[in-house]
Amino acid sequence: MVFGVPLIKLFPLAFKFFSSPATAALKKRCQKSPKFAARVIRWATWYNKQTVILRYKINGIKRSKEQIEAASKINEQKAIDMGVEIFMSGIALIIGLGLLLIQQYLQEMDAREKQEKQEKERQNRLAQIDVTNADLDELKLGLKLVLDDLKTVKTRLGQLETNFKTWTATVENIEARTTSLEDTVVRVPKK
């Protein structure tokens, strides 16, 4: 978790704590500045008129424009108070949206870090699998060479067995001849 996220969650409380004196200072400024007061009064009058129209529509009451104008008239002090509230609500909305965007950005960064970490782990596992596959291929090649050598040895052993049988038969044949020669008497002529 990013360290700044808990501090960002505390910011709305701090904003409320510091906005109360700012609201009071803004009210005083509006009362002292005729230009700013005129703008705020215009916003507040428009806002109050829209609120009255909305209330009439919700309640199903039909009024003429003159009646709506008369019902939506407010005094200057109330308009200044309402304008300051609208202004402060707008500032709070902008700050709140900014904080949400910052928090979203931090969460996306955290998610990216997790995703990058998972991707790195996946790449490491794939590299280990590649190394294991290379080792298995090398072992497979070694076993193939051993099997080829075993086939050669088996062929040679078969040849040796065949030669041994041939030599054994030859030796037996020689022994049989020797025995038959020994059994035969050789007469040597006398001189």
- Residue 179: predicted pLDDT: 81
Residue 155 vs residues 106, 142, 148, 158: alpha-carbon distances, Å: 72, 20, 11, 5
Rounded to 10 deg, the angle between the 4-32 and 76-183 helix axes is 160
In this prediction, residue 69 carries a pLDDT of 83
Q: Is 60 left (phi over 0), alpha (psi -120 to 50) or beta?
A: left
CA nearest neighbour of 72 among 103, 58, 51, 93: 51
Cα separation, 144 vs 150, whole angstroms: 10
- CA 182 to chain CA mean position, Å: 97
The pLDDT score that the predictor gives to residue 80 is 77
pLDDT tens column, 117-161: 999 999 999 999 999 999 999 999 999 999 999 999 999 999 999
* Neighbouring C-beta atoms of residue 107, cutoff 10 Å: 13
- pTM, whole model, 2 decimals? 0.49
pLDDT of the residue at 181: 74
pLDDT at 1: 47
pLDDT for 118? 96
The DSSP code sequence of 59-114 is HT----HHHHHHHT---HHHHHHHHHHHHHHHHHHHHHHHHHHHHHHHHHHHHHHH
Domains of the chain by residue range: 4-130
Could you read off the pLDDT tens digit of each residue along the chain, which spans 191 residues?
Answer: 455 556 666 766 676 677 777 767 766 776 677 887 788 888 888 888 898 899 989 998 888 888 888 888 888 888 877 777 777 777 778 877 887 888 899 899 999 999 999 999 999 999 999 999 999 999 999 999 999 999 999 999 999 999 999 999 998 888 888 887 777 766 667 76
Helix axes 34-59, 4-32, angle to 10 degrees: 110
Contacts of 22 (CB under 8 A, 6+ apart): 88
Neighbouring C-beta atoms of residue 11, cutoff 10 Å: 15
Compute how many other C-beta atoms are within 10 angstroms of the C-beta atom of residue 23.
16
